[in-house]
Structures are given as C-alpha cells and as structure tokens.
Amino acid sequence: MEFVLLIFLPVIFALLVPFAYKKIKGIHTGWFVLVVPLVLFGYYLSFLPLVMDGGHAISEMKWIPSLGIAFTSYIDGLSLLFTLLITGIGSLVVLYSVFYMDREKEDLGSFYVYLLIFMTAMLGVVQSDNTMTLYLFWELTSISSFLLIGFWYTKDKSRFGALKSMMITVFGGLMMLGAFILLSIMGETFSVRELIAQAPDLLNQPYFTLALVLLLLGAFTKSAQFPFYIWLPDAMEAPTPVSAYLHSATMVKAGIYLVARFTPIFGSASTWIWLVTGIGLLTLFWGSFFAVKQTDLKAILAFSTVSQLGLIMSLLGAGAISYHATAAMFGFATYAAIFHLINHAAFKGGLFMIAGIIDHETGTRDIRKLGGLMSVMPISFTVAAIGSLSMAGLPPFSGFLSKEMFLESMVALQHFELFNFDTWGILFPIVAWIASVFTFTYSMYFVLKTFIGQKKFDQLPKQPHEAPIGMLISPMILATIVILVFFIPNVIGKWIIKPAVMAVQPTLYASPSAVDIHVKAWHGFGAAGLWLTIGVVVFGTLLYLTIPKWQPLYRIQPDKLSLNNGYDAMMRGSEKGLNRVSRLYMTGKIRTYLLYMFAFMSVTIIAILFIKDAFVLDMNSFTAITLYGSLNAIVLILSVGFVVFAKSRLAAIIALGGVGYSVALFFVIFKAPDLALTQLVIETVSVALFLLAFKHLPALSTHGETKRNKMVNLIVSLSVGVMVTLVALSSHSQKMIPSISQYYKDTVETEAAGGNIVNVILVDYRGFDTFFEIAVLAIAGIAVLGMIRLRVSRKEPTDENK
Amino acid sequence: MEFILSILIGILFTAAVYLILSRSLLKVILGTGLLSHGAHLLILTMGGLGGTAPPVVIDGVTDFADPLPQALILTAIVISFGVTAVMLVMAYRMYDVHRTDNMNELRGNDEHD
Amino acid sequence: MNMINLLLFPIIIPFFFAMILMFFKEQVVVQRVLTLIGLALSLVASFWLIATVKTEGIQTVTLGSWPAPFGITMVSDMFSALLVTTTIIITIFVVIYSFSSIGVERERFFYYPAILFMITGINGAFTTGDIFNMFVFFEVLLIASYLLIVLGGEKRQLRESIKYILVNVISSAIFVIAVAYLYSIIGTLNMADISVKIAEINQPGIISVIAILFLIVFGIKGAIFPLYFWLPNSYAAPPIPILALFGALLTKVGVYAITRTYTLFFVHDIGFTHQFLMVLALLTIIAGCIGALAYFDLKQIIIYNIIIAVGVILFGVAQMNTSGLEGAVYYLLHDMLIKGALFVLIGIIIYATGTSNLREMGGLIKTHATLGWTYLIAAFGLAGIPPLSGFIGKVLITKGAFEADHVIGSIIILASSLVVLLSVIRIFIYAFWGPQKNELPVRDQRTYRQMMFPAIMLVLITVAYGVGAEWLMPYMTDAANVLADPSIYINAVLKE
C-alpha cells in the first residue's frame, strides 16, 4: 500500500468523529481520536533505521497527471523529523485535551474534526514532494487553524483573531504559490527533489530572486516572523490544546520547514542569507522584548514563540553561509537550528499545557493576579520550571545545549567575509545576545511570578488546586524529554538531527554520518558561548529583578504606531474606506454611468483611430451626391432638431415619426423598397405606441438640468457622433474585400427559386435569423402582457427583497 | 452620398446620446428611437449606396444594390421595434409606481449600506 | 448514428418547450414538470454533443444546406459545447430552486417560458458561427431577460429594469454599427470567413479599431471596466433565482464573445489589442475588489465577485498562450457553476434571516449547520483553495502570465484571491458565527430543505469539478487548442 495514503488517515477518521460524539456518550471522544496519532507515530518510527543511514522513501498517488500534480510522500531526515513531531506531540495534545475539553460544554464533534483535518494537512506539508499539493496542504492548515481559533465563535475576539490569522497566512500562501509557479516554469517540474537537483541552473534565471522573495513571504507569514507575527498573539483565543499543538509545535514551524527544505535551491543567494538571517534575528529580538510587556500567560508564550521561531530562522539563514565558506565554525548553524526546533517543541508545548492547566484550575491567565501557586501545584511548578529554564538556556536542560550552539553560530558570523558581513556581521551576535538576555528575563518572569511569591488566591475566580493527573501526563512527558535530551544529545543527533541536516545541506554532506558535529555541554573556559551564557544569566537576572522599574517604558510606544493598528486600519479601510471610495463613483444615477461609458468609448476609439493610422478618407469611394438625397438629409436633420428641442410630448413624438419617415424615404432613394415598406409600417405603429404610452406619462420637463449638465451632455454626445462618423468614413474608404452578396445575386434564381433577393435572404439564406427575430417579437408580447397584468402582492412570503 | 450620410448618422447619434443623457425618461426613450434609426441607416451606408436597381431579379439588370445589408436592417428594425414596445410599457409601469420620470430620483443606491 | 443537427438541439429543445409551456399558463405544476423535462433532454443532447466533438472534432451545420459562408453556420467546438452543457446544468438547479422560492404568481406569468427562451438565446450565442446571428441571439436572450428582470413589477424591479434595458439597447445599437463597419471592410458575416479575410489583409489599423469597438460592446454585457457600472444595481433588483441565472450566465456570454473574437478574428496585432484587453482586465479585477469589500449586503458582495472573475478570465485570455487560455476556459466554467451555487446559497440565507444586510445577521451556524458548511465549501471554492474548482484555473492563468512576462498582472491575480476570500469569509463570520442578533423569522422547514437540495447539488458538482480535474483535462485542452489555433475552427467550417 502506498504510504502516502496515510497522510489522509486523520481526515478520513474525522468523518467518524461526529458520530462518535453523538452516539457514544460515556466516553470522551478524544480517546478515540488518540488512536490516530499514536498509530501514525508508531508507523513512521519504522522509517528511522532507513533514514538514519541516509536513505529515503517515496510514495505517490497521482491526482492530475496531465499537469504533473500528484500527492507524493517523500520521507527523508527532515520530513521524518517533522512527521514524528506532528504525530508525537499530536498524541500528547489529544491526551491533554481529553482532560482539558469538557465533554458536556464543548462541541467535541467539531473540535476533533478540525484537529484531524489539521493533522492531515500538516503531515501533507512536510512530506509533500510536489509543490502544488504542498500548497494544497499549506492552505488547508490555514483553514483548519481558522476553524480552530474561531472555535468559540460567539466571542468577537475569536472570530476576528481567526480572520486575522487566515488573512495573513493565506496572503503568504498565495505568494508562495507564485513562487512555486515560477519555479515550475524555471525548472519545468513541480517536484521539489528535481528542483533541488537543478539548483545550480536555476540560480541565474531571470525570476530567481522574485521566486525567492515570494517563497520567503510564505514562510515568514506562517512562522510569524516580523512584521507578520501579529496574528499569533491573537490566535491565543483558541483553546489551549490548539495553542500547544498548532501555534507552538507544528503549524508555525511550517515556515521553518519550508526554509529548510528550499535552502538547497535558494541558499546560495546573498538575498536569501540576508533576509532569512536578518528577519530571523529581528524577530528574535522583537518577540523577546515585547514578551515582558504581556500580562496574559498565553500571550507571553506567544511572543516567546515568535522570538524562538526567529532564532531558528536566523540559524537556518546562517547555515546557508556554508554554501560559501566551508570553515567548520559555519557548519554548526543548521545543526543548531534543527536541534533547537526539537527542543523548542518539547519545552514550549509543555509550557502551553501548564498555562492551560493554570487557566483551568484558577480561572484566569492574568499574571498580575497569580502568585505563589507552587504550594498547591507542585507538579505543575516543576514542569513549568523545567520548561522555562530550558527556554532560558540553562543546564541541565536541552535548551542550554541548543542555545549555546546558537550563540556560537552567531559569533562565527562576524568572521564571514562575503556579502558585507565583514562590516555588518558584528551586529548579529550583539543582537542575538541582547535577545537572549530578554529571553532569560521573560522565562524567569513567567515561572517565578506565577508560582513563587505572594499568594493572591482571593483574587482568583476559582480556588486553585493541582490539576488532575490525566492533564499532567502530557506535560510531564515533555518535561522528561527536555531533561533527557540534555544527557543524550548525540544519540538524538544520530537518529534524527543528522539525517535532517543532510537533507538541508545535501551538497555538504553525502550521508548523515558525514555530519561531524558533536554536541557537548562543556567546551572549556575559552568558549565564547560559555561567557555569553554567563552574561545572559547575570544581566537577565538583573533585568528580572528590576522589572517593575522599567516595565512602564513599554507604554511609551503609542498604540497608534503599532503594527496591530496598521492591520486594524487596513481592515477598517477595507470596509468603511472602500465604501466611501466606491460611493464616489457609483452614484446610482444611470446618467453618470452612461457618461463614463460614452466618454470612454468615444475618446478611446477616436484616439486609436488616429494612433493606428486608421483614419482614411478616400473621397473617390463615395458615390455621387444626389439632389433628393441631400434634400431628404435636410428634412431629417430638421426633424431631429425638433425631437431634441420639442417642448411638448406630442411635438416630440411627431418629430420622431418625421425622422422615421425620412429614413423610409432614404430607403426608397437607395433602392431598398422592401425596407421602405417595412419602415413605414413599423414607424406608424411605433408612433401610435409612443402616443399611447406617453399619454400616461407626465409632460416633458427638464427636471432642473443645469447649463453645466447640458454642456457635459453636449460634449459627450458630440464626441460619440464624431466617433461614429469618423469610423464610418474610414470603413467606407477602406473597403478591402468585396462582399459575399454576389453569391446571392448569382444563385437566387437558380438555386433558391426566388426573384426578390432580400426576401430570399430573409427566408432562405438567413432564415434562421428571421426565425429568432420573430421569436423576439413573441417574447416581447408576453413581456408586455406580464408587465401589465402581474403586480406581485406585498404579502408574498418568499419575497426576499425588502 | 455616403459622405453626407455618414455625417448625418453622426448627427443622429449625437442627438440620440444627448437625449439619452437627459433627466427626463421620456426624452431618454425618444433618444433610443433616434439611436435605432442611426444604426439602421449606418448598415445601409456601410453596404454601399451605389447600385442602380433594387435587388429584385429583372431581365437585363445586373447592378443591384447590396441585398445583404437590407436584409440585416429588416431584422434589426423588427427587433428594435419589439424592444421599444417593451421599453415603453416598462416606462409606463414604472411611472405608475414611482410617480416620477426624473432619472435623478430613480437612483439605485439606497437599498443597502 | 450520424446526427448532423445534434448541435442545434440545445437551442431548439428549450425553445420548443418554451412554446408548449405558453399553453399552460395557469397550470404551474405542469409547467414545472415540462421545464425540467425540456432541460433534461437538452442536457442529454449536450453531453452527447461533447462526446461527439471529442471523437469527431468540431461539429458544424449551415442552415439550409447552403455552403458556408453564404448561409448561417452553427459551430460547436469543445469550448462552445462545454459552455452549453454548463449553462443547462446550472439552469436545471436554479429552476429546481425556483420551485420553492419564486412564488406562484410569477410562475403563472411566463416565468418558465422566459427562462427557456433565455437559454435558447444563450446557447444560440455560444453556438453560432455568424456574427449577425450572434446579434440576433443576443437580442433573444436580452428580451427574455427584460421579461425576467421586471416580472412581478415590484418597485425596485421597475426602477432598475428601465435602466437595464436602456444600457442594453445602447450596447445593441453599438453591436449593430460594429458589425456594419466590419462588413464594409471585409464583406462577410460568417465568423470563420471573417477570420480568413482579416488574415488575408493582415489586420490593418481600422480592423484594430473595430476590435476595440467589439470589446466595448461585449464588455458592456460582460461587465468589464469601465463599462460595468450598471451591473451591481440592476442585478440586485430581481428575485434570487433570476439573479442567479443572470450572474452565472449572462455576463459569461459577453466573456465568451470577447474570447471568441479575440482568438479567432483579431489575432494579428496582439501587441496592441491584447495588451489593451489585459489592462482593462486588471482594472476590472481592481474595481471588482473594491466593490466586493465595500458593501455589507450579501447580494452586492457576490455580484462584485462576478466582476472580479470576469477580470481574471479575460486576463487569462489576453495572455494568448496555452496555459493562459486553458486556465481561462477552466476558470470560466468553474465560475459559472460556483456563482450559481453561491447565489442560491445566499438566497437561502436571505430567506432564513429575512434580510440581506450582513450586519443584522449572526449565529446561523447553530440553526442552519448544513447551510453553513455548504456555504463555507462554496466560499473556499470561489477563492480558489485547492483542491476545489477555482485552483487549477488560477494556477494556469498565473503560469501563463509569468510565461508571458506579465509579472505584475500575476501578482494582482494572486492578491485578488485574497480579496475574494476576505469578502466571502466575511459572510461566514458575520452570518454564521457571531452572536445571534435578531429573532429569525418563522420559516417552513420543508421549503428550506427543498431550497437546500439544488444548493448542495451545485456545490457537490463544483467539488467534483475540482477534485476530478484530471477527467476534465482532455476537454479543456481541446477547447484551449481550438482557441489558440484559429485554423482548426476555420477548416472545420469552410472545408466541409
């Protein structure tokens, strides 16, 4: 069986969930759902031996072969790592949710459906080798995230937080789609592997940089990099299991995955290195700086996530330098990125779960109201402490190892000599260090302010007590992993990290074992990382202790200048602003619209007539001017004048009749007797109709038309008239091909057996026209009947037009 | 003669559009009448106004006027008559309900925000 | 069995049934049954037609057995055949929707005959191979539409109908003079012959002028910038089933005509004519985007989305490469289906809440869950989220634009998807999510279910269209090939 189908297992299982929810009342639906990620985790573990040795596996299901679009699952180190993360943390989250989501109050039937859809989508993103289906799954993650954030949809903040996340991530997704299409044109394939193989050729193609930028837009929006991070704090409206799963461990890492996966293609471009490293670092700093401002536990964690994602992103950017400089010191960065990715998933997931537990047990997430919980919630405290200290980068926790590697990599950057790094490169370790200080500070802030210090239990909505053991299992497992990894980093490295690094830098490493990086806790007193970390601890502690003094500084930034306000302004503009714009030109008056149309038509046609040298006046093509013709012309013009300037309805109608009869006279003059007859009859009937209708209409009035109105009307109508005349003259002067009517003249007697050619055309050659012309009359008849007789009554119950 | 006709048709169109842009529904309808006349005359003119005989087969006559535009005009006349009839009745019914023929007062914007 | 006249059936059958229906003015049930039978028969014929065109190539018939170009030729290439079929499918479901929503009074006054006459005109316009005959079919469909838009004589209808008919009378007049100009220069009305003769004289400047004139004529009908202004208010006036038909079908006839003329006739000065088209298409998208976001009225949001779609399709046509044309065909058919579905769905929302103002709605998901999820799928389909139907068309058009070095246009196309998504998701967020604002009017559950049936069917069809894109590819490629290479069409018509 093609294992690509397993990607769809969650979503297929989701079809059963509503039934499980409705019919099986005794058991929490989550227990059923738990089976899926567990089974998948176990199955994908079996790929580990293959991947450890540098192998890979592929499975494909075709969708639109004619366009080269298929569902392809490609398991290598990178995708396997993410897959295990998705399914592993997924299992823990589902387990957690069994205890967090109350069966009676929450709509579990929908919740687990959305979650499973997300799981499928995420698996698809990381395993997909075909860019089109990768995009499909990417947008599916946006959609499922939308549904999950808006889960409590009666709350305004949930709805608009969901909208914000969807708008920003779909925007990025569409840009990424543009990148994929460009790549498919440049490399003539949708397969990522094939594109990677062609990387050197792609580098010099004209749209390479554009594709690069578009791809990064996709990655940065999804992974909440500056300035697109603003959706992530609002996404905290979602239930906490969702925050732990999507918005810390998996979905937000999709952008990281994208950058990692496409590094072999784009990594050698300086634009890439600067953008990825620079934006990553900026995000790292920005997130950590603003984390301390927050008062909601989940918001602190959200900003922390933004910051940590920036960290990983900057490491991936730094890792791309290895395409240009092969010194060992540059080799760390990619390894560090992957390593930190795993560590972050573990500690952040756990921290979110603790935040959810605190919310569940105390009824609030406001850090100002919390304190001293350690005494009643010792286990939660332990887990939180482990997570926070790991996040701060202290031993004996996994975060310490990856943070050290990060600092070392950043220090190494200043030695890189290309692309202006020799001038600006020093900035990187400086910013990195400052950001680490703030990271330390907010980590301490998070755990100490909540668990230690003064107890304020009377301010809390609920009397706090330790969470039920079921809710604690998942965070405890994660905390254990955090500690475990510290002690066996190289085992983890051999199993998972090295194959992933090889996937990101295939030109550097032929196999995972070639990745010669050994992670150590102690590098000796000379290591820059050691001193930097000590500095971080010292200054971080200082900052933490002085928080009350400098926290008010945050208020200096006026709300108006924030990015959030920019987004809000855009959304407001898209409603009220655009409404005003639209109403400017959509006046509702038909005259305005006709003015636009006529003006456009006449100006454009006359202009093109001259631009294209199409205006030709061949006086020889015109037949001679006749006396009767000219006289009739004068009569016609006079009648027209009467129509325009008539003051009474009767006069106008009679003048119109006069025009019609003059036209009939023209038909006589120009040898069209049948036409003349028809025209006379129709004109007479028309006049009668006009008289009948106008009798019921009011007298002619100008309704307050100003001279200006009339002037505008005159100018526009003159230009239309001029246009018609000029084109007519040009067309007549450029008769290039004789008409087909010669055939009619030739065959009318012999084959059509008729004498009056016009009649024969109407009835035989072009009888089909006549048939439908009569139909038009018939329909006009029933239309008139319908209009006169049917006046719909007001009480019509299905009348939607109020 | 096509020269004169072309200018004449231009005048017809000018008058037609001028009326169509006015505020009174009656004038607008009159304008559409002129518009059709202009269009029909144009078909004839574009077909060429030469031809010494109407397109009916008679011994010895070879220089017919072009029959094809004439057939087209016939079709067009009938169709525009049908449409005019519908338009007139529509105007009548509209006035019946709205009691005004001032096009300015017949705006479309107030139904929604 | 060799049915030479097969391609006429989708035109003749509805016409025939419309005539019969006029005898049953008061018997509404008989009318309903007969309409469905007539449409079903036409659908069978059109599927058969697609199969025939696939195996035997372009079908042509010249009425009266006169040789083309002297008689009126009807031509069914894959593009026309697909359009005809889609038209009938949509009409069937909108008619079913009408059973529960249009009201018996209208049904007794030629509602169904008018629909069938309109379909006759639409199918005829899609199938004709003669430019003046196209004018006649345009008039048929227009006059039927006049009847439909004014039927019932409600205040708003009367006010908007007079403006609608005015705009169309003007556009018809310009159509006539454009045909006259063209005839003056090349002396023929048969479309294949026109193509041959324009090629012979190598499209001099005057022909390019006429090309733009044709663009304006069809653009008025097809609602491109700056000729679309009449559409939002006119379309919002009649009852929902009529709005659904207009929105899904009528504008597309204009788009078809532009596509046909700009791939068959005016292909020798692409640097000018198609650049012009492309610029207008992009402006159309922008104008549509502004409108789709500017209003909180359900009808206006979807109506402006029509305009956005027209811009996208014509942008694809303007690229004049395989990707662009294929994408345009894909997107055109997708848009017809999805607009039909969306209008029916918002009709149900309006019925359920008693208002079309989004700000007065909320919390519908609790009481109308199926409606909500169906709507959401349709909304995502419109925005082009894969694997739903809009995706392939959008990708192909964007690809075509990148291939032709029209980078800014491609980015605008991609960005417009975001605006489309925002406009339709707003409806979901305000009407379905959110707190309930007003008491829902008491409604008949049976009527609701009857209305949901065609809505769900149409959405399912669009989902199948998207997911099953592979089965449709051969047909789309056929259609695009004929558009890309006029000689295929010309040979089929003139060499018989």
Q: pLDDT confidence of A5, banded at 50, 70, 90?
A: confident
Query: Is the CB of residue A73 less than 8 Å from the CB of residue A125?
Result: no
pLDDT class for A767, splitting at 50, 70, 90?
very high
Instruction: Report in angstroms the alpha-carbon separations of C482 from A447, C69, C76, C79, C336.
Output: 69, 19, 11, 8, 21
- Is the distance from CB of C150 to CB of C234 less than 8 angstroms? no
Q: Per residue in A675-695, pLDDT tens?
A: 999 999 999 999 999 999 988
CATH of A587-738, one of 1.20.120, 1.10.20, 1.10.3120, 2.30.29: 1.20.120
Average pLDDT estimate for A504-526: 75
Name the token pair of C27.
């018997």
Q: With CB atoms and an 8 Å threshold, state whether C386 touches A132.
A: yes
How far apart CA A736 and CA A597 sit, in angstroms, is 31
Is C473 in contact with A596 (Cβ distance < 8 A)? no
**pTM, 2 dp:** 0.94
pLDDT, tens only, B74-107: 999 999 999 999 999 999 998 988 888 888 877 7
Name, in order, each residue with C-beta under 8 angstroms of B62's C-beta and a sequence gap of 6 or more: none
Region class of A527: left (phi > 0), else alpha (psi between -120 and 50), else beta: beta
| Cα–Cα distance for residue pair A106/A364, rounded to 1 Å | 19
Q: Range with the lowest mean pLDDT among A327-336, A350-359, C30-39, C235-244?
A: A327-336
B8 and chain C in contact, CB less than 8 A: no
Residue A795 has pLDDT above 60, yes or no: no
Q: What is the mean pLDDT of chain B?
A: 89
* Range of weakest confidence among A214-223, A229-238, A498-507, C18-27: A498-507
What's the Rg (C-alpha) of chain B? 19
Looking at residue A525, its pLDDT comes to 67
Residue B103, chain A, CB below 8 Å: the answer is yes
CB-CB under 8 Å, B113 with C176: no
Q: Write down the H helix ranges in A152-253.
A: 156-187, 192-197, 199-202, 208-222, 231-234, 240-244
- The closest of C81, C115, C199 to C478, measured between CA atoms, is C81
**Residue C235: partners with Cβ closer than 8 Å, 6 or more residues away:** C243, C246, C247, C299, C303, C306
- pLDDT tens digits for C314-350? 999 999 999 999 999 999 999 999 999 999 999 999 9
Whether A352 and chain C come into contact, CB under 8 Å, resolves to: no
Residue ranges for chain C with pLDDT beneath 50:
none
d(CA A265, CA A203): 8
Contact residues for C142 (Cβ-Cβ < 8 A; gap 6+): B83, C121, C168, C172
pLDDT at residue A796, rounded to an integer: 43
- How close, in Å, is residue B59 to chain C by CA atoms? 24
Kindly report whether the peptide bond that precedes residue A227 is cis, defined as omega within 30 degrees of 0.
yes
Q: Do A789 and C109 touch (CB under 8 A)?
A: yes
Cα distance between residue C478 and residue C61, in whole Å: 20
3-state secondary structure of A340: helix
Rg of chain C over all Cα atoms, to the nearest angstrom: 21
Task: Quote the CA–CA distance of A222 and A165 in Å, as a whole number.
Answer: 9
SS3 annotation, chain C? CCCHHHHHHHHHHHHHHHHHHHHHCCCHHHHHHHHHHHHHHHHHHHHHHHHHHHHHCCEEEEHHHCCCCCCCEEEECHHHHHHHHHHHHHHHHHHHHHHHHCCHHHHCCCHHHHHHHHHHHHHHHHHECEHHHHHHHHHHHHHHHHHHHHCCCCHHHHHHHHHHHHHHHHHHHHHHHHHHHHHHHHCCCEHHHHHHHHHHCCCCHHHHHHHHHHHHHHHHHHCCCCCCCCHHHHHHCCCHHHHHHHHHHHHHHHHHHHHHHHHHCCCCCHHHHHHHHHHHHHHHHHHHHHHHHHCCEHHHHHHHHHHHHHHHHHHHHHHCCHHHHHHHHHHHHHHHHHHHHHHHHHHHHHHHHCCCEHHHCCCHHHHCHHHHHHHHHHHHHHHCCCCCCHHHHHHHHHHHHHHCCCHHHHHHHHHHHHHHHHHHHHHHHHHHCCCCCCCCCCCCHHHHHHHHHHHHHHHHHHHHHHHCHHHHHHHHHHHHHHHHCHHHHHHHHHCC
Strand A57-64 and strand A69-75: pairing? Answer: antiparallel
Q: Given CB atoms, is A491 within the 8 Å cutoff of chain C?
A: no
- Which amino acid type is present at position B32? T
How far is the alpha carbon of A670 from chain B, nearest alpha carbon, in Å?
Answer: 6
Would you call B82 and A776 a contact, using CB atoms and an 8 Å cutoff? yes
Query: How sure is the predictor about B19, in pLDDT bands with cuts at 50, 70 and 90?
Result: very high
Structure tokens at A420: 């202006």
DSSP assignments along A741-771, one per residue = HHHHHHHTTTTS--SBHHHHIIIIITHHHHH
Partner-chain residue, chosen from A671, A731, A779, that has the shortest CB–CB distance to B65:
A671
Which A residues in the span 543-582 are in contact with C, Cβ-Cβ below 8 Å?
574-575, 578-579, 581-582
Which residue of C146, C156, C177 is in closest CB contact with B86?
C146
| Residues with Cβ within 8 Å of residue C234, at least 6 apart in sequence | B108, C149, C160, C161, C163, C164, C167
Instruction: Round to whole Å and give the CA distance between A478 and C6.
Output: 70
Residue with the bigger pLDDT between A539 and A223: it is: A223
Q: Is the pLDDT of residue A799 over 50?
A: no
Nearest residue of chain B to residue C237 (CA atoms): B108
pLDDT, mean of residues A622-643:
91
Domain ranges, residue C192:
3-494
pLDDT number for residue A601: 96
Neighbours of chain B (3+ CB pairs under 8 A): A, C
From chain B, pick out residues whose CB is under 8 angstroms from the CB of C163.
106, 108
Of C412, C335, C466, the C-alpha closest to A175 is C412
Q: Which two tokens stand for residue C109?
A: 């006054």
Residue of B nearest to C151 (CA): B90
Q: Calculate the dihedral angle through the C-alpha atoms of C463, C466, C470, C472, rounding to the nearest 10 degrees.
A: 90
Distance between CA atoms of A152 and C9, rounded to whole angstroms?
53
Is residue A794 predicted with pLDDT exceeding 60? no
Residue B113's pLDDT is 47
Interface of B with C in 42-81 (CB under 8 A): 42-43, 45-48, 68-69, 72, 75-76, 79-80
Q: Which chain B residue lies closest to C182 (C-alpha atoms)? A: B46
CB burial of residue C12 (10 Å; 0-12, 13-18, 19+): middle
Q: What is the structure's pLDDT at A801?
A: 40
Is the pLDDT at A38 greater than 60, yes or no? yes
Best probe of the A interface among C433, C445, C451, C477, by most A CBs < 10 A, is: C433
Q: How far is A782 from chain B, CA to nearest CA, in Å?
A: 10
Whether the pLDDT of residue A802 is over 50: the answer is: no
What does the alpha-carbon distance between residue A58 and residue A52 come to, in Å, rounded to a whole number?
16
Judge: B93–C153 Cβ closer than 8 Å, yes or no.
Answer: yes
CB-closest option in B3, B8, B93 to A637: B8
Instruction: Please say whether the beta carbons of A497 and A338 come within 8 A.
Output: yes
Using the beta-carbon criterion (under 8 Å), do A609 and C137 form an inter-chain contact? no
The answer to whether C422 contacts A167, with C-beta atoms less than 8 Å apart, is yes
The arithmetic mean of pLDDT across residues B37-46, rounded, is 95
In angstroms, rounded to a whole number, what is the distance separating the alpha carbons of residues C263 and A219?
39
Please give, rounded to a whole number of angstroms, the shortest distance from the CA of B64 to a CA of chain C: 16
Cβ of residue B39 closer than 8 Å to a chain A Cβ: no
The answer to whether A305 and A248 have CB atoms below 8 angstroms apart is yes
What is the Cα–Cα distance from A580 to C399, expressed in whole angstroms?
A: 35
Mean pLDDT for B15-30 is: 93
Select the residue of C150, C183, C297 nearest B90 (Cβ to Cβ): C150
Report the candidate in A170, A180, A151 with the shortest Cα–Cα distance to residue C420: A170
Q: Do B79 and C139 touch (CB under 8 A)?
A: yes
Which of B90, B98, B99, B102 best probes binding to C when mutated, by most C CB atoms within 10 angstroms? B90
Give me the number of domains chain C comprises.
1
* Per-residue pLDDT at A494 exceeds 90: no
How far A430 CA lies from chain C's nearest CA (Å)? 37
pLDDT tens digits, one per residue of A87-125: 999 999 999 999 998 887 888 889 999 999 999 999 999
Going along chain B from its start, the domains and CATH numbers come out as 2-103 (1.10.287)
**Which residues of chain B are within 8 Å of residue A721 when distances are taken between CB atoms?**
10-14, 17
**In this model, does residue A546 exceed pLDDT 50?**
yes
Tell me, yes or no, if B6 comes closer than 8 A to chain A by beta carbon. yes
Among the residue ranges A31-35, A495-499, C242-246, the one predicted with the least confidence is A495-499
Average pLDDT over residues A634-651: 92
What pLDDT does residue C463 have? Answer: 95
Q: Verify whether the Cβ–Cβ distance A589 to B71 is below 8 Å.
A: no
Least confidently predicted of A170-184, A254-268, B95-109:
B95-109
Mean pLDDT of chain A: 88
Distance in angstroms (rounded) separating the CA atoms of residues C217 and C257: 10
**How far is the C-alpha of A94 from the C-alpha of A29, rounded, in Å?**
10
Q: Does B93 touch chain C (CB under 8 A)?
A: yes
Question: Any idea which of A231-240, A500-509, B18-27, C108-117 has the lowest mean pLDDT?
Answer: A500-509
pLDDT number for residue C161: 92
Q: What's the gap in Å between the CA of A635 and the closest CA on chain B?
A: 11
Scan for tokens 């490609």, then name that residue. Answer: A74
What's the pLDDT at C188? 93
B8: nearest Cα among A686, A640, A682: A640
**Exposed/middle/buried for A653, CB within 10 Å: 0-12, 13-18, 19+?**
buried
**Inter-residue contact A218 to A179 (CB < 8 Å):** yes
